[in-house]
Amino acid sequence: MATRETGIAVAVVGALGVIAAACISSGVYKSVCPESLCGSGQVEIAPPDNPPPDGCKQGFVWREAVKDDHVCVTPETRSQAAKDNQQAAARRNPNGGPYGPDTCIQGYVWRGAVDSDHVCVTPQTRDQTARDNSLAASRRAGG
């Protein structure tokens, strides 16, 4: 739970946390609100008291390598997963192979974020994915 100092906040909170906010004088997370509402434009917003059960600790975000992938990773790892998804077609063998249409071109392997994740990535990315999966519970809010 966040420690809050004196201040006033108006916030719309959704499943992923604060969606929109007006002014507050102190809290935990920083956000920006319109100058017309806040003066300086700098606002601090406290997270919801009850984050989603698979929400992430501060500094981590959902990987979202595949639909409903809520493993908590660094923002850089999430960006890499998105880039890998964009390159998926270019990294598959156009003629298929021993693993059918999901056969990777040489130098790439399946990422394996979940059993059905056949996006082709570098072996280093596959290893990072396995590490992130093994650390998932320790990176969840409240974990």
Give the DSSP letter of residue 138.
G
Mean pLDDT for the chain overall: 76
C-alpha 9/C-alpha 34 separation (Å) is 14
- 132: pLDDT strictly greater than 60: yes
User: 66-99: per-residue pLDDT in tens?
Assistant: 998 999 999 999 999 999 999 999 999 999 999 9
Say which amino acid occupies 21: A
Half-sphere exposure of 58 (CA within 13 A, CB side): 8
Q: Percentage of the chain surpassing pLDDT 70?
A: 62
Per residue in 46-65, pLDDT tens? 444 544 566 899 999 999 99
d(CA 1, CA 140): 14
Q: Which residue has the tokens 């108006």?
A: 10
Tokens of 106: 């040489």
Give the pLDDT confidence score for residue 52 in this predicted structure: 57
Closest C-alpha to 24, from 42, 12, 1: 42
**What pLDDT is attached to residue 142?**
80
